Amino acid sequence: MYLKVINPYDQKLLIELPFDRGKEIEGKVAGARKAYERWRRLSLEERARRVEQGVKYFRDHADEIARDITLQMGKPLTQARNEVKGFFHRAEYMLSIAKETLAPEILPGKPGFHLRIEHAPLGVVYNIAPWNYPLLTAVNVVVPALLAGNSVLLKHSPLTPLIGRHFEAAFGELDPPNLVTSLILTDRDASQLIGDPRINYIAFTGSVATGTKVYQQAAKRLIDAGLELGGKDPAYVAADADLDFAVENIVDGACYNAGQSCCAVERVYIHQTLYKNFIERAREVMKQYQLGNPIDEKTTLGPLARREALPFLENQVKEGVRRGARLLLGGKRVKEMKGNFFRADPAGRRSESCQSDARGELRSARPCPLGQRRRRGARPDEREPLRPHRFHLDTRSDAGRAHCAGVGGGDRFPKPLRLPRSLLTLDRSKRKRNRLDALTVWVLSPDETEGDSFQDREITRHR
């Protein structure tokens, strides 16, 4: 039984890889457990030194790895290279904080007692990684797990299994061997592995539906699980925003990686005084995106990674139009191209889909589809909090679906904005405290970005 990996650009078979089955899975789990028993006994300094050797593999094979990302899931090569750079940034940062983070915590004592908290390794970490950022989502687990003294079983997405092999080549051949082992599993076997008593921790990045199932299975064994699930992320443009800057960054935040980002901008709320100009400028910016072969340096928007995303997005567009939205660009697949491309400009092979003025709760305002669409609505008055009836946004049904909130503005900022999720405090240029309900908040200000794009910042700062 083989896993077939299809190039999303030309629909050609890229590679066939055999699935791991009974004996292969048993051998890999046993090897990971054996590696953990040896690895945990090494000092942190020695573990860090060997992890650095593994990171060197990625430096030596950076071009090959970037190309593998592009061929497997369609990310333009320039963006794949950015992801490789982000990998190094994250790995180096986690190496730099390991000593302080893993140091024992000394607690206030009392007579006859010496109190401290030791950070002990867990054992075998089972990492289920996604395809949209195949390097970054995996390095978030692999490097800190190894530094803390664990071994890792890495089950990468069936769309990007070659990245799992790169992690195994980098870290699995260190001493002891099998520190990181790549698994190619059917859904059934991937699920059953959670129940193996030799697995001590689950790290999952993916959809809410699958994450819920993973968490339920982990709960049966009373082991912990770290979940990063789909978001539905908004951007807000205040009345005093630099409009050109806001448009450029929000469109980039929506279109980078073909919209297949955990923190892609999928809802935009715009102050009414800027609304019409924002729409026109955004449409012009979006027309400049060039569809094509993601290996080509000129391509700025690659194909969607999954073929089934095309009808899904078309249905979202149709629903939006049915509910009163205006379709400003595209909204259809590019049928004359073999790849998984979604059309925006009917006159040429351009990119994206854009709607405005949608009313009611759309499916596109619900769990993240990982595809490039944006809804836009005018913000009547920034002196009041966001309210469902003003923005056609049901905050009760959307609650818990925002990873990040992006805010564009100058010196002034509205009163608290009610966006889904946890409470954060934000200091603007005049240090006014403002509350935004979101897991992560970016303030997009020309004075603070130093030329980075929205999604470049996501690569290095997201969670």
CA-CA distance, 59 to 352, in Å (whole number)?
A: 33
- Written as one string, the DSSP assignment of 343-374 is ES-TTTT---EEEE---S--GGGSS---S--E
Residues 307, 132: Cα–Cα separation, whole Å: 14
C-beta atoms surrounding 59 within 10 Å: 12
Q: Which of 168, 228, 352, 382 is catalytic?
A: 228
The angle subtended at Cα 86 by Cα 81 and Cα 92, nearest 5°, is: 130
Buried b (16+ CB within 10 A) or exposed e, 294-313: beeeebbbbbbbbeebbeeb
User: Residue 57 to residues 64, 65, 111, 126, 226: CA-CA distances in angstroms?
Assistant: 11, 10, 51, 22, 27
Q: In this structure, what token pair is assigned to residue 316?
A: 């979202």
User: Nearest CA to 245 among 462, 456, 455, 451?
Assistant: 451
Query: From the centroid of its chain, how far is CA 343?
Result: 23
Question: What own/partner pairs with CB < 8 Å and gap ≥ 24 does 325-332 have?
Answer: 325/355, 325/356, 325/357, 325/358, 325/359, 325/375, 326/355, 326/356, 326/357, 327/353, 327/354, 327/355, 328/279, 328/283, 328/354, 328/355, 328/356, 329/283, 329/286, 329/287, 329/353, 329/354, 330/354, 331/355
Q: Is 262 a catalytic site residue?
A: yes
- Cα separation, 155 vs 24, in Å, equals 14
Q: Active-site residue 319, yes or no? A: no
> CA 296 to CA 267: how far, in whole Å?
30
**What is the spatial distance between Cα 359 and Cα 389, in angstroms, rounded to a whole number?**
10
Helix, strand, coil percentages, rounded to 5, for the chain: 40, 20, 40
Element (H, E) at 2: strand 2-6
User: Which member of 83, 168, 255, 262 is catalytic?
Assistant: 262
Provide the annotated active-site residues: 228, 262
